[in-house]
Structure 1
Amino acid sequence: MSEEHRETGTGWPEPAEPVRPSGPAGEPDPRPEAPDPDELSPLAPAEREAEAPPPEDPPAEGSGDDGPSGSVAKAGPASRRLTSAGAMIAVLLALLGFTLVVQLKTTSTDSSLAGTREEDLVRISSDLDSRERRLRQDIAALEESQRQLRSGEQGRQAALEEATRRADELGILAGTLPAVGPGLSVRFEGGDKATSSARILDAVQELRGAGAEAMQIVGADGTSVRIIASTYFVDAQGGGLVVDGRRLAAPYTVLVIGDPATMRTALNIPGGVVASVADDGGTVIVEDREAVEVSQLHAPIKLEHARPVS
């Protein structure tokens, strides 16, 4: 290189292009470290770009090419499956929540007391308190009897008194002994539907549940029948009732011994006996009595198979 070239910086020679090494007879260089022949291609970058194939146009919608739209089309069913599964889970969760809410409302709400007035609720509460006191008194009496029966010398006398008292109670319940005590007189008046056997039976069951100890029913002609556990009521042809095989004419009066306040509350509960008879066009007249006499007796039941244990 001349001094002029060094001073002016011009006239520098062009760098020589790399020469593709080749082996004998123009074969590729067998050396392992030899460069790739394609890297030594004499084509210029512009020529390479010219020779490159033009980019293909994106396939039209609905074509069957495996382009981007084809990928989206393939991803569509998966997305729909995921969306359907999510919707199904949401529906199941909604149904489960609805079921739980309905169950909680059902268990927490008493339909029979939902529309009851405040004074009726007070009477029902008083009835329950009276029953509780009566049961506690019975428990205390039984515990006292047990203590006396275990107290040595007085045990025999206490056992005899207890047996006598128990026999009297069973006689009253079985209808073989008369009874007297405070209670109610319940009179049923009205048509055949209001004084049907179903209405009388409902009244008897309500009175038993309220602590009735003895009952008898009296017809218009004075015919009386003692009401016990096995007593049945049937509507007679032509009107009237058949009670334990005896026919009674309306109106009917039920004499019952027990706590008057508790039994009156049981008859007057909403939807009870008094309300049902009133709906059928009849009336129920309830009177408190200090002394109700239940004198009609029931014939003793002849036992065929049972016998007392000695």
Structure 2
Amino acid sequence: MTTPSDAHDELAGPADGPEPQQPVAEPDAHPAGGDHEDAAGSATAPELHEEEATAPEPPATPQPSPSGWAALARALRFRASRGQLLAGVLCAVLGFALVVQVRQNNETSLSGLSQADLVRILDETTTRGDALATEVNDLRSERDQLLSGSDKRQAALDALRRSAETQGILTGRLPAEGPGVVVTLTEPNGQIKPVTMLNMLEELRNAGAEAIDLNGNRVTASSAFAGVPGAVTLDGVTLEKPYVWTAIGDPDTISTALQIPGGAMAAVRSNGGEGVLQRRDLVEVTSIRTLPDPQYATPVPAAAG
């Protein structure tokens, strides 16, 4: 028989003890109807992937074709290679060198002379041309006399004599006299170089000097300068200072040629030397030079007939 205390105990027992844990239903990973959707999804997923794989790609947007001007500009665009750059640099250097050379030539040309000097040079050139024309006429007359048969022997002797005198003066075997110049070179501030003396000789010859003497030494076509600045030698003979040039020829032509800008006298001044030029109506070249007989050259035999 159950007593009230027992009933009380029964009622209190479950209250005091731990409450029975109710099974908690795990939340469904999918909402209601998920089973159906999973099933449908599992059934249609492969089909969607298939459609995505086989779906055609959208057509590419066509690029606008370049216009004719754009194509021409792209074709004419400069593309420099290493060889082109090197060629350009070489052309620039060559052009610069040509400009410098032209300027130097202009500085030493006749453009630097005054009008009076140019007129004098023209007159001297005309006079020289007239003298050459006269010489041509004389030679033609001499030839006509030799061919005419009148006094052929005397004409031949006269021709030989004049030829011997001319060759004797030009080769230095005979003394000579006539109009010319005397140039005295000194070295107050430097030493004149052998090449400067050679330039003097070339200027005298170009100006028409027919007989040249330097410090008592006859200068001929075979003469040569050597030595060092301050000790110049002519044909092996050391020259003493001052250097005195005596030349027979047209004084005006020779003096103009020596004093032209960039000429022989300018070269003397660049060496620290000075020059005094005197024109004279009569100068004498008394020095002579004995030339050795040629060892290898012989005259060409006269043509028969």
Residue 131 of structure 1 corresponds to 128
The question of whether the paired residues in 2 share the 8 Å contact of 1:216 and 1:296 is answered with yes
Give the match for residue 36 of structure 1. Answer: none
Runs of 4+ aligned residues of structure 1 deviating over 6 Å after TM superposition are: none
C-alpha deviation, 1:210, in angstroms: 0.9
**After superposition, what is the alpha-carbon deviation per residue over 1:206-255, rounded to whole angstroms, capped at 9, x for unaligned?**
1111110001101xxxxx21000010111258x32211111111111011
Percent identity between matched residues is 35
Equivalent residue in structure 1 for 2:162, among 144, 160, 165 = 165
- Cα displacement (A) at 1:188: 0.6
Aligned equivalent of 2:234: 243
CA contact (8 A) 1:127 1:265 kept: no
Structure 1 partner of 2:185: 188
TM-score by length of 2: 0.64
Alignment match, 1:215: 212
User: Relative to structure 1, is the Cα distance of residues 212 and 84 closer, same or farther in structure 2, using a 3 angstrom cutoff?
Assistant: farther
Paired amino acid for 1:287:
Q
- 2:276 aligned with 1:301: no
**Is 2:60 the counterpart of 1:64?**
yes
Check the 8 A contact 2:180/2:280 in 1, yes or no.
yes
Within the alignment, does 1:120 sit opposite 2:112 as a pair? Answer: no
The Cα shift of 1:85 comes to: 5.2
SS at match of 1:82: helix
Equivalent position of 2:267 in the other structure: 276
Distance 2:191 2:183 in 1: 14
CA shift in 2, pair 1:115/1:153, >3 Å: closer
Tell me the residue number matched to 1:142.
Answer: 139
Match of 1:225 in 2: 217
List alignment gaps of at least 5 residues for structure 1.
1-62, 89-102, 219-223
SS in 1 for 2:148: coil
**Separation in 2 of the partners of 1:143 and 1:282?**
47
Separation (CA, whole Å) in 2 of partners of 1:245 and 1:84: 73
Give secondary structure in 2 for the equivalent of 1:150.
helix
Query: Closer, same or farther in 2 for the Cα pair 1:271/1:126, shift >3 Å?
Result: farther
Q: Which letter does structure 2 place at the counterpart of 1:235?
A: G
**Structure 2 letter corresponding to 1:176:** R
Alignment TM-score, normalising by the size of structure 1: 0.63
Q: Decide whether the 8 Å contact of 1:197 with 1:241 is kept in 2.
A: yes
1:82 to 64, 72, 78: 72
Contact 1:187 1:286 in 2 (8 A): yes
Q: Deviations over 1:72-127 (max 9, x none)?
A: 3x134x53232355678xxxxxxxxxxxxxx9xx99xx722343333332333233
Q: For the residues of structure 1 that align with 2:228 and 2:288, how far apart are their CA atoms?
A: 23
Cα distance change, pair 113–153 in 1 and its aligned pair in 2 (3 A): closer
Counterpart of 1:65, as a letter, is: T
CA pair 113-183 structure 1, distance change in 2 beyond 3 A: closer
* Contact 1:212-1:259 within 8 A present in 2 as well: yes
Two-structure CA RMSD over aligned residues (Å): 3.0
Larger Rg: 2
Matched to 1:182, the amino acid is P
* Aligned-partner SS, 2:222: coil
C-alpha contact (below 8 Å) 1:180/1:293 kept by paired residues: yes
Report how many aligned residue pairs link the two structures.
221
